[in-house]
Structure 1
Amino acid sequence: MDWDLLLRLAHIMGAVVLMGTGAGIAFFMVIVQRSRDPKLIAHVAGIVVLADTLFTATAAIAQPITGALLAWSLGWSLWESWIVVAIGLYLFVGIFWLPVVWIQIRLRDLAQQAADQGEPLPEAYHRLYRIWFAFGWPAFAAMIAIFWVMLARPNFW
């Protein structure tokens, strides 16, 4: 068995899961938001929280592990400039992703409370949704930048 190939596959699959789940979650949250139906939003947000827990969190933990093992296996220093930049971008994504997880849980709970009470979504829900939406853009852009850095492996310094 080719250890390097297995590590590359695991690292690529982790990146695919992170980007794919993130894009899917964003799509479903944006689409369901347009319904303004608290019951439907609570249901979809519950699935989103589950998907983030099962897929995104697992891949987010696996990525640095597979990346470090891969670098070690290939003889690359973790201090090579492109690796340092990729790690920095990854941490940047995490700065936006961690609050988003909490926000998604709150959005689900606020929508469920509104559905249970037969009321429209409260202003707190709309405020949190706007923050959730805004946080997605820099995280998504940083993920694209990570892909570029990992493929091009430029010498930044």
Structure 2
Amino acid sequence: MRYLSGYRPEIVNQIQSLVDNNKLAEHFLQRYPRIHDIRTDKALYDMAIAIKNAHMRQSDPLAKVIFDDKINLSHHALGLHSYVNRRQGNKVKAKNEIRISSRLKHTPIELLQMVVVHELAHLREKEHNKAFYQLCTFMLADYHQLEFDMRVWLVADEVGQSPY
């Protein structure tokens, strides 16, 4: 239950009860019955650009959005963003990249979108502060619920009850 630390004990106890009764996968399938069909880096890039263009038109451009097999929970992340500044003559070019864990290829679209929104928000806000989370909820109204659901999915995956 390490993914749920910081949540109220009664919520953690509800999830623990689902785990104990081997019902967590069933519970998750009721909320999210299907996984998405985004399997390629191009499809992921297109989804991220669509979200960015809808909500963050003035932000720096994205050079790359890809699935990455090397990102896992040992990095304490499901997505990473990077900024590379390169000098070419008198110009400095910024290159923004987002990498999403390949584990998210087999999840519901809502959870993938939540991680993409999280990483896009880092284009404007580097820290996880109030402005960062306001931007996340601006782009995805139920961001906080989806973040909690992602944590529940991680618990399900860890205890062998992932439905996907």
In the superposition, the TM-score normalised over structure 2's length comes to: 0.29
Larger helix proportion, structure 1 or 2?
1
In the superposition, the TM-score normalised over structure 1's length comes to: 0.30
Higher gyration radius (CA): 1
